[in-house]
Structure 1
Amino acid sequence: MREIIKQGLLNYAKKTIRIEELETFIPVNTTYEQFSQVILDFEREGVLEIVKSKGRNTRTPSLAYFYRIHKQQLKRDYHEKLKKYRLQLHPSIKLDSYFGSDPSQWEKDHHYLLKIHQYIEKFGFPKYEVPAPERSVELVGDEKWMTDKQGKELLERIGLWSRMKVIPVSDPLMFAVNPATLSNQSLKHLIVENKTTFQALVDTLTQTDFSTLIYGSGNKIIKSIEQFERQLPISNVVHIFYYFGDIDRSGIFIWERLNEKKPIQLALPFYRACLDKTSIKGKINQRSDQSAIEAFLKFFTEEESERIQSVLNNGHYYPQEILKTSELQAIWRHSKWN
């Protein structure tokens, strides 16, 4: 019961809690004596501090009506456990992130961490890349672990994703190539969200100094971009990526997720041309991510940012298709791309 109440306190959002709320954490058949003993232990340990102004009840033993929660004290045992595992697990397994996360994350990952430790101890680190399902079986005995059960996220959390040499499981990246530019030391790549825009621009690619035109296919680009270096294996060059998507919450979110994987500039000449058009009403039910919108707006002037925010707030948007084929091609050919 102590662990059940502890987990309830860790998940509780407020800093103070009523005794009645504490009682909701415990199993149905728990007696008051059993419950009060745990609460009094937490009082002595400094996990729960009495809010004196609210008083105590008249039951025996007496408990406070309100408690102040000290989560750092609550996590003390958990942190001591992590320190012990730091000494037991292979030194390459980094546990730093767990000190700042909820203990429930550790409970979910613990079983897998032991398996990864055993694998490294027995075989060392892989020397060759293999598909994710194959490496998943080797590490934890479950071919879907990396792709469907957040195995990749766990490996990233402990700093071992790149060392496990995993071929990403995602759709191939779809792009057209401008061969004349591939000997350059700096290669530019334009990612467009929609198929219509890709088809409008593909015949103009060789009239630009861009090396590729990449079809993002909406959200798919977030995963398929991982295949880029594998599909265009050119060494000792600098890759510069630009993105052009719809000016709506979804298009902005896709860019932000891409930018987390590798630096992706906004293809501003295309976006600014959209802003010269009349926005279209629709897409009011899209997911809103304010942090993504704020990061997106930093690329624009104050006036442009206010206009984009107003368009989104009013349930309007700019689709890529608002620009005609001739406009798209002219913008790509004649704009300055730094």
Structure 2
Amino acid sequence: MESVKRQLAGFGRKTIRLAELEDLMNQLLHTYEDFAEAVLQMENEGILDMVKSKGRTSRVPSLAFQYRINKSYLAKNHHRQLQQYRMSLHPLINIDYFYNQDPSVWQKNLEYIIKLDHYIKSEGLPTESVPAPERSFEIVGDEKWITEKGGKELLERVGLFNRLNIIPVSEPLMFAINSNKVNDSKQNHLIVENKATYQGLLPALPETMFATLIYGAGKAVIKSIEQFPLQYPVEADHEFYYFGDLDKEGISIWYSLYNKQPIRLALPFYMACLEKEVATGKEYQRENKEAQDAFLSFFKLEQQHQIYSLLKNGYYYPQEVLKTRELQRIWRESNWTS
């Protein structure tokens, strides 16, 4: 019956109808008598409470037509189970995340956690870096688990992704290098969303204080930025700046990058955009309020109102609103140290 309790813990509502209970248990219990005994047992344990207004059946034994699920009781069982696993799993596997999640989240991941535990206990932490599919196959026998089936997220949650020497699999990062800056102890890197902006800025790169100019290729950079330390293995204090379209999608791309590592807004470019005529046609883009709030926090109050208003009304600034000469001048002449 433990599997039934786990399903009840993860049930989408706080109440459950008798017919729904039957659907949950019909693979385990094949007669009404066995089913009724199991339900009454859960009533006695306090897992199920009768919804009195719905009444009870006339069959013997009698069951309620609807029950209230005591999820706090089930959560206590869940926590006890987690504590038992904590004692048996390898100490490097941190399962704290699952204490505040629905028990169904733990059950969904348990198979992989057990495989991960077996891998670490038998192999230890790997010393050699290998691509994600190879490490994925070693751990769970599925080469796509890390990259396509939630494995990376689970490994991050249990605190092991960065300790398993995994080479990320993503498109190569596209960038140009300023040879004048590669030996500097502090290096700046500019990420731009669109190809036209990249091409417009490229000739000015040697005249700037930036070590690289990175072509983001829209959303592709969210994954490909993981390749930067491998493609540019230069020991330095690296500072990243981002300039994208001033629209809802451009803001979301920056925010996704920002959640991976600190990436500053290339404010001089955005400030120049705000002085131009707005464009229309992005009403279809979806708003990410959390991303928008984070983005706006880098601007003064007056500019925040201006950006908020234009986004709300379906206006935007494409990067191309700044012409090549202006782009290059802003990049060369702006104060990037403040």
Query: What is the TM-score with the length of structure 2 in the denominator?
Result: 0.88
How far does residue 254 in structure 1 lie from its aligned partner after superposition? Answer: 0.9
Q: Does the Cα contact within 8 Å between 1:171 and 1:223 map onto a contact in 2? A: yes
| Residue equivalent to 2:98 | 98
Q: SS of the residue aligned with 1:321? A: helix
Letter in 1 for 2:246: I
Aligned residues: 334
Letter in 2 for 1:79: H
Q: Does the Cα contact within 8 Å between 2:9 and 2:104 map onto a contact in 1? A: no
Structure 2 CA distance for partners of 1:10 and 1:143, relative to 1, 3 Å: closer
Q: Does the Cα contact within 8 Å between 2:243 and 2:269 map onto a contact in 1? A: yes
**Residue 88 (1) aligns with residue 80 (2):** no
Once the two structures are superposed, residues 98-126 of structure 1 have per-residue CA deviations (whole angstroms, 9 ceiling, x without a partner) of: 11222222222222222222222222111
Q: Does the Cα contact within 8 Å between 2:257 and 2:263 map onto a contact in 1? A: yes
| Residue equivalent to 2:286 | 287
How far does residue 302 in structure 1 lie from its aligned partner after superposition? Answer: 2.0
Q: Does the Cα contact within 8 Å between 1:5 and 1:26 map onto a contact in 2? A: no
| Residue equivalent to 1:17 | 15
Q: Does the Cα contact within 8 Å between 1:198 and 1:215 map onto a contact in 2? A: yes
Structure 2 CA distance for partners of 1:247 and 1:168, relative to 1, 3 Å: same
Once the two structures are superposed, residues 254-284 of structure 1 have per-residue CA deviations (whole angstroms, 9 ceiling, x without a partner) of: 1111011110011111111111122222122
Structure 2 CA distance for partners of 1:137 and 1:65, relative to 1, 3 Å: closer
How far does residue 88 in structure 1 lie from its aligned partner after superposition? Answer: 1.7
Q: Does the Cα contact within 8 Å between 2:8 and 2:69 map onto a contact in 1? A: no
Paired with 1:147 and 1:109, the residues of 2 have a C-alpha distance of 15
Unaligned stretches of 5+ residues in structure 1: none
Paired with 1:159 and 1:171, the residues of 2 have a C-alpha distance of 25
Letter in 2 for 1:138: E
How far does residue 135 in structure 1 lie from its aligned partner after superposition? Answer: 1.1
Judge which range, 299-308 or 190-199, deviates more: 299-308
Once the two structures are superposed, residues 237-261 of structure 1 have per-residue CA deviations (whole angstroms, 9 ceiling, x without a partner) of: 2111110111112111111110111
Once the two structures are superposed, residues 135-181 of structure 1 have per-residue CA deviations (whole angstroms, 9 ceiling, x without a partner) of: 11211222212112121112111111111101111111111111212
Judge which range, 216-225 or 283-292, deviates more: 283-292
Paired with 2:279 and 2:256, the residues of 1 have a C-alpha distance of 25
| Residue equivalent to 1:127 | 127
Q: Does the Cα contact within 8 Å between 2:168 and 2:227 map onto a contact in 1? A: yes
How far does residue 290 in structure 1 lie from its aligned partner after superposition? Answer: 1.3
Paired with 1:226 and 1:210, the residues of 2 have a C-alpha distance of 19
| Residue equivalent to 2:326 | 327
- The 5 A counterparts of 1:1-338 are 3-4=3-4, 6-8=6-8, 10-13=10-13, 16-17=14-15, 19=17, 26=24, 37-49=37-49, 54=53, 56-57=55-56, 59=58, 68-235=68-235, 237-337=236-336, 338=338
How far does residue 26 in structure 1 lie from its aligned partner after superposition? Answer: 4.0
Query: What is the TM-score with the length of structure 1 in the denominator?
Result: 0.88
Q: Does the Cα contact within 8 Å between 2:9 and 2:103 map onto a contact in 1? A: no
Once the two structures are superposed, residues 17-55 of structure 1 have per-residue CA deviations (whole angstroms, 9 ceiling, x without a partner) of: 364785586467987766655554444434445566x47
Judge which range, 185-194 or 72-81, deviates more: 72-81
Paired with 2:162 and 2:78, the residues of 1 have a C-alpha distance of 28
Paired with 1:48 and 1:289, the residues of 2 have a C-alpha distance of 39
Paired with 1:39 and 1:130, the residues of 2 have a C-alpha distance of 51
Q: Does the Cα contact within 8 Å between 1:4 and 1:25 map onto a contact in 2? A: no
Unaligned stretches of 5+ residues in structure 2: none
Percent identity between the two aligned chains: 49
Q: SS of the residue aligned with 1:332? A: helix
- Tell me the C-alpha RMSD between the 2 structures: 2.6
Structure 2 CA distance for partners of 1:175 and 1:152, relative to 1, 3 Å: same
Paired with 2:301 and 2:35, the residues of 1 have a C-alpha distance of 58
Paired with 2:295 and 2:208, the residues of 1 have a C-alpha distance of 25
How far does residue 205 in structure 1 lie from its aligned partner after superposition? Answer: 1.1
Paired with 2:67 and 2:310, the residues of 1 have a C-alpha distance of 46
Once the two structures are superposed, residues 292-338 of structure 1 have per-residue CA deviations (whole angstroms, 9 ceiling, x without a partner) of: 11111111122222222222222222111111111111111111113
Paired with 1:21 and 1:271, the residues of 2 have a C-alpha distance of 59
